[in-house]
A and B are shown apart, each in its own frame.
Chain A
């Protein structure tokens, strides 16, 4: 990637220089005027780029022709702001060079785009390419583990997977034991005096009930599933000893390391082409026993330097080459492995797999916690695409449809697994295609069928229901599982997916739709099965939906229904408005919505056509909408990462930020999805979170995420002549930089002028700039040493090699400025 990297950098610096010059022109800061030859033919557009249309405070120099539409580069920025997750440095130039129309067309059919960089990043997540079935087998859910424990499923023989399963069995046992103990303790405490206790809060069983929902991720559904499985907690406890010894009998047998390595190779197959480590590892002799004479290897320096005397195991592991390290981890007893992993500090844990190929890293995570690994990689790959994909519109639309057809990550234990396929196989490939295809694919997707309960819905007069009634009759006390209709999907299909709540349907229609869709279910959801139409669950007879008769026709009834819903004018209106709210404004003009709806109907729901209509509509280019949409958290977080050209090794800080800001990925519980209007996302708490995120991102305080604000990142430490030339035009007052390390170094003003056009395309207001600078100068005047403590404050990092270098005063200054710009009011809009 180096050539690509440097290309981007040169683009970035060119852009920086150009935009700086343009910006300086109307600036009140008294910076140098741009050389005349720098003024491009599109001088007007340059000026307007620097002057947000809705900024009252700014000293303005308007073009003589007052147009209600955006002009020149404003149009480019508008397109980038709305159809991407935010411009990266250099994007404006790239679009200008190829032409806005051509760029948009390319975005509508992105298959030919070069995704080398993205693909390299996605290679970190091999498991995300697997089938759901394979994923559930190799990274088992709790349900799969419980089946293995009950004897209803089997534990794989291969040593790595065997260890994965055994570790999970151990974990579940530990949890059950802890719960049983807690229960017993509470039962004991609750006995005496509970009747007389007048104080609230001391109710017997209260804590017990409460503890369950707060379990894993505090989401009711998962917890419920967990709790259900824990019904036999008290019984399970005594059996634990046996289980564990069983486990040790199975995994404790000496395992040939070659077998492990073969297994490992198999497990990480998709990544094996990218790594040299693997073949090398395979040639290694069988694993040496603890503390072999492995010193002298490349990793040994690391191992000895960082060895914690209390953890000889860590030293031993670090002395092994990566492949054999994985094998050693897999050969540990569950208890030993659990204790070891828990004893690691974050930095140690990071070092454990820092030199491993992606498939091996994944294996270590799998050994730790397969369920978390799946959910974690799902989120990470999504963010990687949002930040790095060149097919930005496709990713934005993928986000749009994932929200439109919302599925909540913690609906049940299988959901994270099905979501991998849902996003990859259903949503993304169809995000710019025909709506009806998308609707069909969603209706057939196990993720949706399970989320909105249609998988369980059974026709009241179907064969399956009849049989269940007979069973009830024969064995009335068996508490048989109820068999009947579930309206959930039927309702949301019309209200949220197609017609909209005022789309002209009634409660009777909801029931009819639910009947039509009976039998649409999932084949063995615990094992990752696919769509299944079960004729014996399907409600017999014809149905009538919104006045239209649907003749009895099994699975085809549902297809007829979906076709009908996709073609309804109400659907065209509903979808067009929702798209317009996302791309244009919180309250889009009806004229625009009508034009889009018309385009939808005439193209039979071609989403690309509808977007093209939007792109060509004057309403989209209304000057009043320039940088007017408030960014939702996902848009803010991703646009910040893109604007700062962040190099992301670890996506968790971004996921956490989204959670904190109230927009966790795949985390919307109700089927409504998140709203896209400003009112939902502007609040005190949100602002605090955004400002802190901005400062942390810009100052490299998010572990595993690196940003570099130096003018020329490759020569960050010593400004080159090239740098000086680039800065020369902006050095209005060299004496202002008295506190800087380099005698002729840049001043806060010049740095601000350099960073602003990189981060906030279109610029910030004079008052925002002044606030950033003034405060900055106050800080320097008050205490020049303020710069020092922060640089040393947080040395811990997931990738130490990135963080080892100390931060110079100039870099620190850039970090604060950049953080202030990302947290500025201007950056909160797009």
Chain B
């Protein structure tokens, strides 16, 4: 079998297929680093379609909130109060204990400063981390991993990468690698952990799988050569980790939804010590132009699935949750006014959730811009007071250890002294 550029190593735990001797200096540096920053695990959730942040984290003390949303507003009494001003949508009740325990922080009026109201563009901007700049080919999370490498190389004074990573370092739960993770650092995408095997799930690769492996290793087609490398390594690692019968811990019960299953599999892979550092998944159904509902209805149902999945994930992780940080985002918010069809149209700023063992939770962060007519962005949306990149940058410095923020978010002018201090 071929041994290529990677070793399968994480937290000192070893899961090597093929077992070549690992240079001891390498083990040392990895151990040193993991002890320095043991919480290098970041989970990113993208709510595609633009979730209505004003009905997610409800500013129930704003009079204008109710006058602008006659049929869809969340009544004060039914909002799950957070701090006497904001309340969660009742379908997010599962978040309340996390908030009270200080694990869940919220940033309101956050998002991309770009004014685009196109799903396409706004998602691309958000994922590339370069709002307003088209054609950026890599994503912020991939660049953050690159910055992490550079940082470690600097710390340990070795040229290039002095730390090897596993095929699972950057992981997307879904059929493809999202722009967020696209870039120089290889990443893998998988839909279903149990289906992630070629020609059957025996203890050893089948002859057909070996033939494919040789085929892709030797192909002159660079794109498929690289994809093949990733694939076969990941398949082998997963076989070694034997994920077949996964039972969530601590009585966690995931909803039987696409998102719930995605979160369950992320937890499973995080716990399997495969070397996951950055995991991504997305969840759709937020584009509520029509009949979005209030306490009940379309949005309420989506939020119920969303919060139950994340809460189950948190519970499932147990002690591991200490080293995991989860952050959510959506391409833009929705109009402050409800539209003519019981829904909301494309707006601007939104609410983000940051959940983690080291998060300074229990607080709604960010400057609240207000909802009176003259305070609205273009007279129609929640105005933006926090650039989502500042939130991510702060999370990154405390998780992946990416110090060169200019590399991750070029021209964003991120100033660490102005971080919200939420991690």
Bound Cα distance A208, B121 (Å): 35
Question: B residues bordering A, Cβ < 8 Å?
Answer: 48-49, 70-71, 91, 93-94, 96-98, 101, 116-121, 167, 172, 174-177, 182, 188-192, 195-199, 207-212, 214-216, 218-221, 223-225, 227-228, 230-231, 234-235, 250-253, 255-258, 260, 284-285, 287, 289-291, 293, 296-298, 300-305, 307-309, 311-312, 314-316, 338-343, 345-346, 378
Chain B: CB-nearest residue to A204: B93
Q: Does B305 lie within 8 Å of A484, measured CB to CB?
A: no
CA distance A194 to B117 in the complex (A): 41
Residue of B nearest to A58 (CB): B220
**Residues of the A chain whose Cβ atoms lie less than 8 Å from the Cβ of B190:** 684-685, 688
Q: A201-B252, A660-B191, A687-B228 are in contact. Are A670 and B287 (CB under 8 A)?
A: yes
Q: Which residue of chain A has the shortest Cβ distance to B179 in the bound complex?
A: A679
Given contacts A199-B250, A670-B119, contact A823 B212 (CB under 8 A): yes
Asked whether B91 lies within 8 Å of A209 as measured between CB atoms, the reply is yes
Chain B residue nearest in CB terms to A819: B208
Question: Which A residues lie within 8 Å of B219 (CB)?
Answer: 57, 765, 767-768, 825
A729 at the interface (CB under 8 A from B): no
A335 to B36, CA, bound (A): 64
- Min CB distance B226 to A, Å, is 9
Within 8 Å CB of A220, what residues of B?
284-285, 298, 301-302
| C-alpha gap A765/B338 in the complex (Å) | 59
- State whether B188 touches A630 (Cβ < 8 A): no
A336 smallest CB distance to B (angstroms)? 29
Q: Residue A681 at the B interface, CB < 8 A?
A: yes
Are A487 and B345 in contact (CB-based, < 8 A)?
yes
B341 x A197 contact (CB < 8 A): no
Residues of A within 8 A of B198 (CB): 688, 691-692, 695
Interface residues of chain A, those whose CB is within 8 Å of chain B, are 54-58, 197-214, 218-221, 223-224, 227-228, 231, 452-453, 456-458, 460, 465, 479, 481-488, 491, 495-496, 501, 507, 510, 630, 660-663, 669-672, 678-689, 691-692, 695, 765, 767-768, 770-772, 774-776, 778-779, 782, 786, 816, 819-820, 823-826, 828-829
A507-B94 in contact (CB<8A): no
- Are A486 and B341 interface neighbours, CB within 8 A? yes
A474 to B215, CA, bound (A): 75
CA distance A739 to B178 in the complex (A): 47
**Which residues of chain A are within 8 angstroms of B289 by Cβ–Cβ distance?**
452-453, 486-488
The CA-CA distance from A472 to B311 in the complex, in Å, is 40
Residue among A212, A458, A682, A683 making CB contact with B340, cutoff 8 Å = A458
Interface contact A479-B311, CB-CB below 8 Å: no
Q: Across the interface, which residues of A come within 8 angstroms of B225, CB to CB?
A: 825
A206-B307, A669-B49, A679-B182 are known contacts. Are A218 and B215 too (CB-CB below 8 A)? no
Chain B: which residue is nearest A211 at the CB level? B255
Q: Which of B117, B300, B316, B345 contacts A486 (CB 8 A)?
A: B345
Inter-subunit contact A775/B214 (CB<8 Å): yes
Interface centre among B49, B182, B199 (most CB of A within 10 A): B199
Chain B residue contacts of A786, Cβ below 8 A: 207
Minimum CB distance partner of A484 in chain B: B340
- Whether the Cβ atoms of A210 and B255 lie closer than 8 Å is yes
Pick from A200, A219, A486, A819: contact of B290, CB under 8 Å: A486
Check A201 against B253 for contact (C-beta < 8 Å).
yes
Please, which residue of chain A has its CB at the minimum distance from the CB of B96? A203
Docked CA distance A485–B335 (Å): 13
Residues of B within 8 A of A823 (CB): 212
**In whole angstroms, how far apart are the Cα atoms of A200 and B102 in the complex?**
12
Q: Report B-chain residues with C-beta under 8 Å of the C-beta of A660.
A: 175, 191-192, 195
* B residues near A491, Cβ cutoff 8 Å: 117-118, 346
| Distance in Å: Cβ of B379 to nearest Cβ of chain A | 10
How far, in whole Å, are A672 and B257 apart by their CA atoms in the complex? 23
Contact A828 B341 (CB under 8 A): no
Closest chain B residue to A200 by CB distance?
Answer: B311
- List the 3 closest pairs (A to B, CB-CB), nearest first: A484-B340, A209-B304, A662-B175
B285–A816 CB distance below 8 A: no
Chain B residues with Cβ below 8 Å from A695 are 198-199, 208
For the A-B complex, the count of residue pairs with Cβ-Cβ distances under 8 Å equals 302
Task: Give the chain A neighbours of B303 by CB distance below 8 A.
Answer: 209
The smallest beta-carbon distance between B68 and chain A, in angstroms, is 12
**Do B120 and A495 touch across chains, with their CB atoms under 8 A apart?**
yes
Chain A residues with CB under 8 A of B221: 54-55, 825-826, 829
- Minimum CB–CB distance from A411 to chain B (whole Å) comes to 10
Closest approach, in angstroms, between the C-beta of B181 and any C-beta of chain A? 10
Contact B305 A209 (CB under 8 A): yes
Known: A198-B97, A495-B120. A228 touches B341 (CB 8 A): no
Q: How far is the CA of A1 from the CA of B70 in the complex (A)?
A: 64
Assembly CA distance A768 to B211 (angstroms)? 9
- The residue on B at minimum CB distance from A465 is B340
Smallest CB separation, A547 vs chain B (Å): 20
Contact A825 B342 (CB under 8 A): no
Closest to B290 in A: A453
| A224 in contact with B305 given A771-B214, A775-B207 (CB within 8 Å) | no
Some 17 contacts from A to B, beta carbons below 8 A apart, are A204-B93, A206-B308, A209-B305, A213-B301, A228-B297, A453-B290, A488-B290, A501-B120, A662-B174, A678-B223, A682-B224, A685-B176, A692-B198, A695-B198, A765-B220, A816-B208, A825-B221
Residues on A with C-beta less than 8 A from B300 are 209
Contact B340 A482 (CB under 8 A): yes
Residues A213 and B207 in contact, CB atoms below 8 Å apart = no
CA–CA, A458 and B343, complex, Å? 13
Known A224-B301, A786-B207; judge A685-B191 contact (CB<8 A).
yes
A414 to B257, CA, bound (A): 23
Residues A685 and B175 in contact, CB atoms below 8 Å apart: yes
Given the known interface contacts A501-B120, A683-B176, the answer about A200 and B218 at a Cβ–Cβ threshold of 8 Å is no
Instruction: Assess the B196–A485 pair: CB atoms within 8 A.
Output: no
- The distance in angstroms between the C-alpha atoms of A198 and B339, with both chains bound, is 39
Determine the chain A residues whose CB is within 8 A of the CB of B285 once the complex forms.
213, 219-221, 669
Inter-chain contact B93/A205, CB cutoff 8 Å: yes
A207 and B308 contact, CB distance less than 8 A: yes
Q: Is the CB of A680 within 8 A of B176?
A: yes
Q: Are A685 and B189 in contact (CB under 8 A)?
A: yes
Q: Tell me how far the C-beta of A762 lies from the nearest C-beta in chain B, rounded to whole angstroms.
A: 13
Alpha-carbon distance between A406 and B120 when the two chains are bound, in angstroms: 14
A753 CB to closest chain B CB (Å) equals: 17
Q: A199-B251, A683-B189 are in contact. List 4 more A-B contacts (CB 8 A).
A: A663-B175, A684-B190, A688-B198, A767-B215
Determine whether the beta carbon of B195 is less than 8 Å from that of A201.
no
Cβ-defined partner of A214 (8 Å) among B116, B197, B255, B290:
B255
Q: Which residue of B lies closest to A774 (CB)?
A: B214
Contact indicator B214/A210 (Cβ below 8 Å): no
Contact B120 A201 (CB under 8 A): no
Of A211, A510, A829, most buried by chain B (CB within 10 Å of CB) is: A211
Q: Is the CB of B48 within 8 A of A485?
A: no
**Residue contact B207 to A201, C-beta cutoff 8 Å:** no
Task: Please indicate the chain B residues that have their CB under 8 angstroms from the CB of A679 in the complex.
Answer: 177, 182
- B252→A767 contact, CB < 8 A: no
B71 pairs with A479, CB closer than 8 A: yes
C-alpha spacing A219/B260, complex, angstroms:
13
Quick one: which of B121, B215, B218, B345 has the most chain A CB within 10 A?
Answer: B215
* Cβ contact of A55, chosen from B118, B220, B234, B339, cutoff 8 A: B220
Q: Are B339 and A485 in contact (CB-based, < 8 A)? A: yes
Q: A231, B220: Cβ atoms under 8 Å?
A: no
Give the docked Cα–Cα distance between A829 and B223 (Å).
11
B166 to chain A, nearest CB (A): 13
Q: Write the chain A residue with the least CB distance to B168.
A: A684
Q: Which residues of A contact B175 (CB under 8 A)?
A: 660-663, 683, 685-686, 689
In contact, B255 and A507 (Cβ under 8 angstroms)? no
Inter-chain contacts of B93 with A (CB < 8 A): 203-206
- Please give, as numbers and ranges, the residues of chain A lying within 8 Å of B177 by CB-CB distance: 679, 683
Whether B210 lies near A775 (C-beta < 8 A) is yes
A210-B340 contact given A200-B311, A201-B315, A680-B176, CB 8 Å threshold: no
Residues of B within 8 A of A223 (CB): 301
Give complex CA distance A680, B120 in Å. 14
